[in-house]
Amino acid sequence: MKKLGFGNMRLPLKDANDPKSVDIDQLCQMVDLFIDAGFNYFDTAYMYHDFTSENFVRDALVKRYPRDKFILADKLPTMMLKAPEDQERIFNEQLEKCGVEYFDYYMLHNLGVNHYAIAQKMNSFDFIERKKAEGKAKHIGFSFHDNANLLDQILTEHPNVDFVQLQINYLDWENESIQSKKCYEVAVKHKKPVIVMEPVKGGNLANIPEEAEKLFKNYCPDMSLASWAIRYAASLPNVKIVLSGMSSLEQVKDNLSYMSDFKPLNDEEITIIKKAVEIINNLTAVPCTSCRYCVNVCPKHIAIPEYFALYNSEKQTKIKGLAHKVYYGNYIKNNGKASDCIQCRRCEKECPQHIEISEALKDVAKAFE
């Protein structure tokens, strides 16, 4: 199994404002190119693309290829469980939506302190172990967004999982909120292989400040910015797969250009990345990855990721102008304003990046309102 996986969280859209408007024709081309190049790992989840990602995986992949041609990963949405019986219902629904009889990799979705409590209450680890015994989940694990101490606790209390999925990228490696390095080291200690998510940090590392971009381009003009981020994660020895949420045929081609014959980073490249991290950290105001978990629970329907993207762009632009305010004005026609935040902090409980969203929204309101 090659180290690049196809993430189905950010598929190509016909309408950027409609997560269900996936361009199925382009997606089929992307899947074909990916498989033809010898790659086979695909990752989806119940909630992706407003609960339609699994359907598109079925149409673009499962219906068009023999079952032994691909490896499929899916996730049980712990955040949506109200009763233990929900697990069986959702699992069966996922099998049907994906059009498969089993999942190669199945995990509890987005464990942190709150969702782990739900998983414990619902006996979710027993559930996925039972699915493995039934042959309906070949490998079981969980995706994780919290601190290394909690990860150590979970792996100690549930040693029967086969793997763990972690957020790892060069910007979060030393970040004390995300703790990518510390979490990776915990996985190594427990001898659990790692699947990497967010290697490009929601696309942020493909759109970095000009000063940092020059460091990469001066070293190798032909290598994309995303390639540095994905190769960084793939260079870690305990990493089994690096997921890339590819949104276009061009992104697939780019990823294949350097991952088909993958070469780990050398010492000079690592030094360049460290310099880039310093530059980016000085200019990024809000480290949002646009996962949109916050949007699902916001009672005021605030377009939180879009506002943070505009705010970061405003902060990183040397010449200020009206462009960002114009975009902001367009968004608030159909969404709540940043100043509409009622400080309920439900969004912050769901945020994998541990951002103080309600406080950051005050800065957005100050900048654009």
DSSP class per residue in 167-206: E--TTTTT-TTT-HHHHHHHHHHTT--EEEE-TTTTTGGG
The b-or-e profile of 339-366 (16+ CB within 10 A means b, else e) is eebeeeeebbbbbbbbbebbebbebbbe
**Secondary structure of residue 108 in the 3-state scheme:** strand
Nearest alpha carbon to residue 91 among 151, 61, 132, 56: 132
Contact 225, 216 (CB under 8 A): yes
pLDDT per residue rounded down to tens, the chain (369 residues):
899 999 999 999 999 989 999 999 999 999 999 999 999 999 999 999 999 999 999 999 999 999 999 999 999 999 999 999 999 999 999 999 999 999 999 999 999 888 999 999 999 999 999 999 999 999 999 999 888 999 999 999 999 999 999 999 998 898 776 789 999 999 999 999 999 999 998 888 998 889 999 999 999 999 999 999 999 999 999 999 999 999 999 999 999 999 999 999 999 999 999 999 999 888 888 989 889 999 999 999 999 998 998 888 777 654 455 667 877 887 898 899 999 999 999 999 999 999 999 999 999 999 999
Task: Give residue-wise pLDDT tens across range 301-360.
Answer: 999 998 998 888 777 654 455 667 877 887 898 899 999 999 999 999 999 999 999 999
Alpha carbons within 13 angstroms on the beta-carbon side of residue 236 total 27
- What is the distance between the alpha carbons of residues 346 and 338, in angstroms, rounded to a whole number? 15
Nearest alpha carbon to residue 124 among 183, 165, 83, 73: 83
For residue 328, what are the CA distances in angstroms to 80, 94, 288?
Answer: 31, 36, 17
Contact 14, 23 (CB under 8 A): yes
pLDDT at position 325: 82
Length of the chain: 369
- What is the distance between the alpha carbons of residues 278 and 271, in angstroms, rounded to a whole number? 11
| For helices 267-283 and 210-219, angle between their N-to-C axes, nearest 10 degrees | 170
Contact 88, 121 (CB under 8 A): no
End-to-end CA distance of the chain: 50
Bridge partners for 42 per DSSP: 6, 72
- How many angstroms from the chain centroid is the CA of residue 318? 29
Task: Give residue-wise pLDDT tens across range 255-286.
Answer: 999 999 999 999 999 999 999 999 988 888 89
- How many angstroms from the chain centroid is the CA of residue 283? 22
pLDDT at position 112: 87
- What is the distance between the alpha carbons of residues 36 and 249, in angstroms, rounded to a whole number? 14
- What is the distance between the alpha carbons of residues 63 and 322, in angstroms, rounded to a whole number? 47
